[in-house]
Amino acid sequence: MKVILANPRGFCAGVNMAIESLEKALEKFGSPLYVYHEIVHNRPVVERFSKRGVVFVDKIDEIPQGSTVLYSAHGVSPTIRLESQKRNLLAIDATCPLVTKVHKEAVKFASEGYTIILIGHEGHDEVLGTMGEAPQNIVLVQDEESANKLELPKDTKVAFLTQTTLSVDEAQAIIDVLKKKFPTIVGPAKDDICYATQNRQEAVKEIVPEVDVVLVLGSQNSSNSMRLSELAITLGKPAYLIDSVKEIKSEWLINAQKVLITAGASAPEDVVEECVDWLRINYNAQVENRIIREEHVQFPLPRELRVISNSTS
């Protein structure tokens, strides 16, 4: 068997920043330390931090007064920030800057009187946070059908934004529908879908014609990981989204001579390495690292941690 390891894969700059933020917050404040929602959408990562005393909550009122809370990479709404202030929480904001960009765009368009069509998945943490910036001005569409059915008054000023972790092709298809339906619609100056999401999809697109099977490391609630497996299936190859090597089924690999392994932007590299080692042991796999695009993006730690770090140094 030959295994092709897609590059880039795994952690993006936003995830790296969020996880480093949580590490530093644990170091500074100890446990229990509270995180609003999962720090990133990855089960192994969440489980590891839970064992170290991190408590993941879905409601701010679950956090004791005066505690420390870290906001996840997916961002939060202004309402959540206000609730934190009321509970006298020390809030550390580990929102990915690319998500913050979308929040700012929502505020800007709303202040200019636009009705904003947000392309995204209902209930996703990022979508909830973005919609919370201008709830009276934002309408959510999830697919081409809902975009086609959307009706707005004729004189409505319309803008669109997108969740950062969507399929590039699917998002563009929805945008095309919206532009046809609302010819004067405006969008962000720069694409909302994040560089890491695009790069990982690009790598799968380029490599998948060569392989028989695709293994995607990532969790079921990770939007960008799910898009990678869907993309491979759309391109005609069987693809499986797994959290760890324990989930691999040998029947997936019957007659598989070439296997592509990639990982969503919230999946740690060690789970990739475990899968590669397992394939080496069980299938005498030869491994090729395939670099499609290099990434050199880094994001600074949240201001709250930088200030704390400076004041204690």
Tell me whether residue 126 is one of the annotated catalytic residues. Answer: yes
Cβ(265)–Cβ(196) below 8 Å: yes
pLDDT tens-digit map of 164-183: 999 899 999 999 999 999 99
- Say whether both 87 and 109 belong to one domain: no
Which residues are CB-neighbours of 81 under 8 A, at least 6 positions away?
A: 91
Structural domain including 59 reads 13-96+299-312
Q: What secondary structure does DSSP assign to 123-137, as a single string? A: T-HHHHHHHTTSTTT
- Say whether both 73 and 160 belong to one domain: no
Burial call 236-267: b when 16+ CB within 10 Å, e when fewer = ebebbbbbbbeebeeebbeebeebbbbbbbbb
Query: What's the CATH code of the domain at 171?
Result: 3.40.1010.20
Domain boundary among 181, 215, 248: 181
User: Does 190 reside within a domain?
Assistant: no
Share of the chain above pLDDT 90, in %: 95
Which residues are CB-neighbours of 58 under 8 A, at least 6 positions away?
A: 36, 37
- C-alpha span between 232 and 223 (Å, rounded): 15
- Annotated catalytic residue within 83, 105, 126, 170: 126
**Position 21: which residue type?**
S
How many domains in the chain? Answer: 3
Share of the chain above pLDDT 70, in %: 98
- Say whether both 307 and 285 belong to one domain: no
The pLDDT of residue 191: 87
Q: What is the mean pLDDT of residues 228-234?
A: 97
Global pTM reads 0.91
